[in-house]
Amino acid sequence: MKKLKNEKELIKKAIIEGVKYGEGRGVVEFEATDSANEKIEYIYRLLVHDKVIQAIPEDQVSQLTMKHKLAIWASKMK
């Protein structure tokens, strides 16, 4: 897994866009007290469920791989 050039910024963008996506669908309402890790996991699972992104094999799923996958997703947005 090759780290992206501006991965931290892309992860922040992915969280913002993922929250909009989930709340826009009406499936989740995030609280201010939700940690970034909780948001990342929920957004990742939602996008996989909706077939927006391809799933990582379950034995390889970790916070790091989910962040990387969401950063790639965010990098493809306009």
Instruction: For residue 60, give the CATH number of its domain.
Output: 1.20.120.1930
Residue 49 lies in a domain: yes
The pTM for the full model equals: 0.92
Residue 56 lies in a domain: yes
Residue 1 lies in a domain: no
Residue 6 lies in a domain: no
Domain count, the chain: 1
Q: In the predicted model, what is the mean pLDDT of residues 27-56?
A: 96
Q: Tens digits of per-residue pLDDT, 60-70? A: 999 999 999 99
Helix (H) or strand (E) holding 16: helix 7-25
Count of Cβ atoms closer than 10 Å to residue 67 Cβ: 21
Domain assignment of residue 64, given as a range = 14-25+33-75
Residue 7 lies in a domain: no
| pLDDT given for residue 8 in this prediction | 94
Residue 19 lies in a domain: yes
Q: What is the DSSP secondary-structure string of 23-66?
A: HHHTS----TT--HHHHHHHHHHHHHHTTSSPPPPGGG--HHHH
For the chain, give the percent of residues with pLDDT over 90: 90
Residue 38 lies in a domain: yes
